[in-house]
Amino acid sequence: MPKPSRARPRSSTTVQPVRIGAVTVTPLVQFHYRVDPHLFFPDLDLSELDPGSWFLQPPYCEDDFLVVDISAFLVRAPGRTLLVDAGVGNSKPRPNPCFRERSDPWEELLKAAGVEPSEIDTVVFTHLHVDHVGFATRFDGSRWVPAFPAARYLTTAAELDYWTGSEAARFREQLGDYLADSVLPLQEAGLLDVVAPDHRVSPEVRLLPAPGHTPGNVCVEIVSAGQRGVFAGDMVHHPIQLARPGLSTDFCVHGACAAESRQALLRDIADTDAVLFPAHFPEAVPGRVRADPAGGYRYEPVTS
């Protein structure tokens, strides 16, 4: 798995909330780093791309590296307070130096967004990669325990079976045994729910099957008052995948299947009012997807 390179420092931050009908979404950016495009996208031939392409300009590129943020999303729906994904976490031993023993102001981000950890009732994992489960647990001085004790934590059977099985051993070796400190404590506490990949979380929120990046990968859809939002998870790591939807990352378990799922998602939301919430775009800025006459798609950021 490619080793990332630290980008210029950028503080953890909450991003301006976006309303989808009666639902409010606040992006929570844990940190910002950058990756070598050749390693992140092994099938990418940069010589085929115009250096002036929109997706190779700031804020998406920096010093010939791709900029990738680590983010989660706070979702306030009627009667519900949810998190979609949970970042890398703090104080966790990781082989990756960018992920190792971090000390980011996570609780301060939540409080700035107007919520206490005790108020969160559901944590939805789009998938169980190391950078999506970290803040699900905290260290209580002797062991890792659920960070949101009032919450149910949701994943799919295909996802949990894969990551706890022998097939994923190679990835666990590369990433560190993050399941032991970030996922299994949830299971031991009886708070991890295995749900269908099209599970409805609330009247406004449901899961959408999107296999490929990982076997049980899902997107999360909001529909409220005639408006729609979709949390992409890792279906779209970087805007270059809007211009080249067939391009999958080195992180994808099944690259071809991931490309099919990504293309289906983009076809579905392109040229509509649906808002895409990307987990890894700089500042996690939501946006709308538009078909590009030159091929692929473009991104129109929205801030409200």
Burial of 135 (0-12, 13-18, 19+ CB in 10 A): buried
Please state, in angstroms and rounded to a whole number, the distance separating the CA atoms of residues 58 and 67: 9
CATH number at residue 281: 3.60.15.10
Quick check: 299 pLDDT over 70?
A: yes
Q: What is the pLDDT of residue 14?
A: 61
* Of residues 244, 232, 241, 240, the one with CA closest to residue 284: 232
The number of distinct structural domains making up the chain is 1
Q: What is the CA radius of gyration of the chain?
A: 18
Q: What is the pLDDT of residue 283?
A: 87
CA 100, 105, 108: angle at the middle one, nearest 5?
A: 155
E runs forming strands in 94-167? 122-124, 137-139, 144-146, 152-156
Please state, in angstroms and rounded to a whole number, the distance separating the CA atoms of residues 98 and 302: 29
- Domain of residue 92 covers 5-301
Question: What pairing do the DSSP bridges indicate for beta strands 61-62 and 80-84?
Answer: unpaired
Averaged pLDDT for residues 227-231: 99
Length of the chain: 304
Residue 172 has a CB neighbour count (10 Å cut-off) of 15
Percentage of the residues of the chain whose pLDDT score is greater than 90: 87
Q: What is the mean pLDDT of the chain?
A: 94
Predicted TM-score of the model (pTM): 0.94
Q: What is the pLDDT of residue 15?
A: 76
Q: What is the pLDDT of residue 263?
A: 98
Q: What is the pLDDT of residue 169?
A: 85
Using an 8 Å Cβ cutoff, are 246 and 263 in contact?
yes
CA distances from 284 to 195, 215, 220 (A): 26, 24, 15
Burial of 115 (0-12, 13-18, 19+ CB in 10 A): middle
Please state, in angstroms and rounded to a whole number, the distance separating the CA atoms of residues 212 and 222: 22
CA 264, 2, 96: angle at the middle one, nearest 5?
A: 115
Q: What is the pLDDT of residue 9?
A: 47
- The 10s digit of each residue's pLDDT in 82-97 is 999 999 999 999 999 9
Averaged pLDDT for residues 192-196: 99
Please state, in angstroms and rounded to a whole number, the distance separating the CA atoms of residues 8 and 141: 33
Q: Mean pLDDT lowest for which of 5-9, 115-119, 204-208, 232-236?
A: 5-9
CA distances from 167 to 117, 160, 170, 181, 186 (A): 34, 12, 7, 20, 22
Please state, in angstroms and rounded to a whole number, the distance separating the CA atoms of residues 289 and 297: 6
- The 10s digit of each residue's pLDDT in 3-34 is 444 444 455 666 789 999 999 999 999 999 89
H or E element at residue 184? helix 184-188
- The 10s digit of each residue's pLDDT in 212-224 is 999 999 999 999 9
For residue 53, the SS3 value is: coil
Q: Mean pLDDT lowest for which of 19-28, 41-50, 113-122, 266-275?
A: 41-50
- The 10s digit of each residue's pLDDT in 112-169 is 999 999 999 999 999 999 999 999 999 999 999 999 999 999 999 999 999 999 989 8
Q: What is the pLDDT of residue 3?
A: 46
Q: What is the pLDDT of residue 2?
A: 40
Q: What is the pLDDT of residue 10?
A: 54
* Of residues 52, 255, 67, 61, the one with CA closest to residue 247: 255
